[in-house]
Amino acid sequence: MVSSSAFALPNLEISQVHQLFAIASLDDLFLLAVLLLGGAAYLSNGVLWNKPDPYHYKWFERPQAAAVGLLAANTQTRDIALRLEETGKQAVIFWGSQSGTAEGFAHRLAHDLHRRLQLEALVADVSDYDEDTIAKIPASNPAIFIMATYGEGDPSDNSGHFVQWLKSNPEDVSFGTLKFAAFGCGNSNYKYYNAVVDAVVASLQSLGAALFMPVGKADEARATTEEDFLEWKTALFAQLCAQFGLSEREPEYEPSISVVFDDSIDISGVYVGEPLAPRGKKLSLKTPSTPTVLMPVVASRELTTHGSAQSQGQRRSCLHLELDFADLPEIKYKTGDHLAVQPVNPSREVMLLLNVLALSDQADTPIMIQTMDSTADQTRLPSPTTLRALFQHYLEICGPVSRETVLSLARFAPTDTAKSYLVNIASEKASYAEFIARYHVTLSRLLQHVTAAVDPSVDWKALPLSFVIESLRPMMPRYYSISSSSIISPRRAAITVANNPSILAHDSQTTIPGLASTYLSSFVAPQDVPAHDVQIIAAGDVGDAMEAKDLVAYPPIISSSSNSTSRTALYASIRRSTFKLPASPATPLILVAAGTGIAPFRGFLHERARLASIQLSQGRPIGRILLFFGCRHPDLDLLYKDELVDLQQNSALKEHLEVVFAFSRYDGDKSAVDSDTSFPAREQNPKTKRIYVQDKITQRSADVVKLLLDEDAALYICGSASMAREVGVQVGEALRREKGTDMDDTALRRWREDRKRVKRWQEDVW
């Protein structure tokens, strides 16, 4: 960086300047002009002469997408009423989706409306149309909104502008002719459960629109999202028949896509794991994510202690990965952003599905996939591709099967006995809940299970491939908080990954590894990964037990441009986040983390340490930091312990950082904390008592309140939604205790909302 002082003129009086130029020669003046022009050119970094690159968007396009015309979508009208008229559709389904669930529901609903009610519906990304044109939709065309809420009441990336526009209460637009229904996807662990669909419904009604049936809401916290949607959809069909003069018919299977094997396609031109084209939209400065690209993994290590984990019967581990952007000029991140990782299905699971469908011989034959509806989004699935690539990279083949899918599958059962078996386990909500509580049933394992339970001679060769693809959700990225600082490490980002297999409700011996965390474990040296057995399903029921090594899909290998060695890499993108440090390093911080919630705070602390060294060298103040960090046991999962000790003892923060630990599984026996003088004894837990971060906040309530009220500290919470909710309760109680009766519920709620509005209370929770 060139200092501005390098070009500063001496502090001269005006008369002196005149004298200076009077005695200057022409050569001197010429040299001065050259220096000034050169300096201006250098500092402008090319802005003065560079024109925007008209082909910059080519960073983000795939040749396959252009070949099949997928990039022409951005030329369609933004008037939704006109679009309905052009396509001849009788209804519209708007979706706002973050993880892909709401979008998937929208497409499934459109297909079911066609099959069961003969109602043709247009599936619409709510960001593709101008909001005021929704008011022009005729009353005879029902509008359906399927809206996701994530985080603390936040809209999805594609619906944020729409929600903001509705909340602005535009007085010049009337929705008096709009008849609509709505369904929300949310999680009741969050305080603002399904806040987005509630806001959309309230705003539309205030603008004159008519809600023609009760709002449906899915609750991921109860693991009932699919059942909630199925129940609401049944009610929707009844209301559409009653209010719009439709009649329901017995549905017959009609594929929504065509799948054609074509070995004449050049294999070099097919999708084999590359990211899909982003719906024909060019990325802009307002785009919340960077393009998805192949990022080299240049460092990895295990953070937890395996011996302690195994001795306590735990199957937990935690990984630290670092990705390099040195050769990726289009990728930039800021401290607090998220890394969106595109996971890969295990090779064994891919082969299991191919084998049960009797398609292993055609696994690598190119296929073309096209939607049957010309108005539908063509970019949800890759084309051309291969079945192996499709099942490994683009579809969620390891997820559980919904009850609705099982009932649909029964129509294709090869025998009456197999059909009866499927109907029996899925006909009732309670019976299917019992079934999936005992078995983690993927589509391939369900097909295997039916064959084993009914007749070993039963096969699924006749099962339409289109049905298989339609029944599987598109693969969606998994988000991880970046645990590095862009100031310290601008071209290398770190993530912290918890690998905690879940356990079946009715079978504690059966554990289910996470897809993305298991995939990311493959980037760590085998000797660094716990070698515990991982049961996918009870042995002898739906498949044999599998080990963790069987679940690994080997990461792609890329050649390094800087040396002759090869490195592994993964597909990922940067997702912008509002979870940012205050602009001033003098602002005090209260950080509350549990488990891998420490990830963004690792970046925060390293960044503050660098800024503190600069501030203190210039005699400027640095804000105090109080970090509450909760984990299970100091010997097991005290993440980044050495770094925290170093920050406390050796960095510029050593007089300004205090770390308060809470151990929920620490029994007080010999441990790292007992012998480590770097951790204050007062922060150790009493023997046999479980202590959580919210308990520590209660113990330190006076300090917390002083920081919040007297020093205007910023509060950050990262971890589970339930933890964040409890922390919020304890902070409120602390304020009441310290301030007496001045803080009633209304005042406390208003204070908290005010703090959030000025970015002094932020949460990054899941």
Three-state SS for 38-53 is: HHHHHHHCCCCCCCCC
Is the domain of 30 the same as that of 125?
Answer: no
| pLDDT tier at 33, thresholds 50, 70, 90 | low
| pLDDT tier at 379, thresholds 50, 70, 90 | low
CA distances for 721 relative to 97, 482, 514, 749, 764, angstroms: 20, 18, 19, 18, 9
* DSSP letters spanning 124-176: EEGGGS-GGGGGGS-TTS-EEEEEEEETTTEEPTTTHHHHHHHHT--TT---T
Domain boundary among 224, 244, 264: 244
**Domain that residue 133 falls in:** 70-244
Domain assignment present for 696? yes
Q: Which of 85-94, 380-389, 488-497, 505-514 has the lowest mean pLDDT?
A: 505-514
Domain assignment present for 297? no
Is the domain of 34 the same as that of 110?
Answer: no
Judging by DSSP bridges, how do beta strands 143-150 and 179-186 pair with one another? Answer: parallel
Q: Give the Cα separation of 152 and 155 in Å (integer).
A: 9
Is the domain of 736 the same as that of 635?
Answer: yes
CATH code: domain of residue 116: 3.40.50.360
Length of the chain: 766
Query: Is-contact 492 300, C-beta < 8 A?
Result: no
Is the domain of 97 the same as that of 17?
Answer: no
What phi and psi values does residue 234 have, to the nearest 5 degrees? -60, -45
The number of distinct structural domains making up the chain is 3
Model confidence over 579-635: pLDDT tens digits? 999 999 999 999 999 999 999 999 999 999 999 999 999 999 999 999 999 998 887
Is the domain of 609 the same as that of 747?
Answer: yes
Model confidence over 389-447: pLDDT tens digits? 999 999 999 998 999 999 999 999 999 999 999 999 999 988 898 888 888 889 999 99
Query: Is-contact 759 727, C-beta < 8 A?
Result: no
Q: Give the Cα separation of 204 and 328 in Å (integer).
A: 43
Residue 549 above 90 pLDDT? no
511 strand-pairing partners: 503
**CA–centroid distance for 464 within its chain:** 32
Model confidence over 289-311: pLDDT tens digits? 889 999 999 999 999 875 444 43
CATH code: domain of residue 631: 3.40.50.80
Domain assignment present for 272? no
Is the domain of 736 the same as that of 630?
Answer: yes
Query: Is-contact 317 109, C-beta < 8 A?
Result: no
Taking phi first (over 0 means left), then psi (-120 to 50 degrees means alpha), and beta for anything else, what does residue 219 get? beta
Domain assignment present for 103? yes
Cα angle at 628 between 574 and 661, to 5 degrees? 120
Residue 38 above 60 pLDDT? no
Domain assignment present for 171? yes
Query: Is-contact 137 143, C-beta < 8 A?
Result: yes
What Rg, from alpha-carbon coordinates, does the chain have? 29
Domain assignment present for 744? yes
Q: Give the Cα separation of 318 and 307 in Å (integer).
A: 14
Query: Is-contact 612 625, C-beta < 8 A?
Result: no
- Residue 99's contacts (CB-CB under 8 Å, 6 or more residues apart) are 148, 150, 476
**CA–centroid distance for 481 within its chain:** 10
Domain assignment present for 86? yes
Is the domain of 23 the same as that of 117?
Answer: no
| pLDDT tier at 25, thresholds 50, 70, 90 | low
Is the domain of 665 the same as that of 700?
Answer: yes
What's the average model confidence in pLDDT over 227-255?
94
Q: What is the pTM of this model?
A: 0.81
Encoded amino acid at 406, one letter: V
Is the domain of 707 the same as that of 643?
Answer: yes
Is the domain of 39 the same as that of 95?
Answer: no
CA distances for 434 relative to 430, 505, 653, angstroms: 6, 9, 53
Is the domain of 74 the same as that of 36?
Answer: no
3-state DSSP assignment of residue 749: helix
pLDDT, greater one: 559 or 26: 26
Judging by DSSP bridges, how do beta strands 492-499 and 502-504 pair with one another? Answer: unpaired
Q: Give the Cα separation of 713 and 588 in Å (integer).
A: 5
Q: Give the Cα separation of 514 and 500 in Å (integer).
A: 7
Q: How far apart are the first and last CA of the chain?
A: 39
Q: Give the Cα separation of 392 and 294 in Å (integer).
A: 16
- Among the residues of 633-716, which ranges form H helices? 641-649, 672-675, 693-699, 701-705
**CA–centroid distance for 558 within its chain:** 25
Is the domain of 28 the same as that of 153?
Answer: no
Taking phi first (over 0 means left), then psi (-120 to 50 degrees means alpha), and beta for anything else, what does residue 543 get? left
Domain assignment present for 484? no
Model confidence over 688-737: pLDDT tens digits? 578 999 999 999 999 999 999 999 999 999 999 889 989 999 999 999 88
Model confidence over 141-168: pLDDT tens digits? 999 999 999 877 889 989 999 999 998 8
3-state DSSP assignment of residue 109: helix
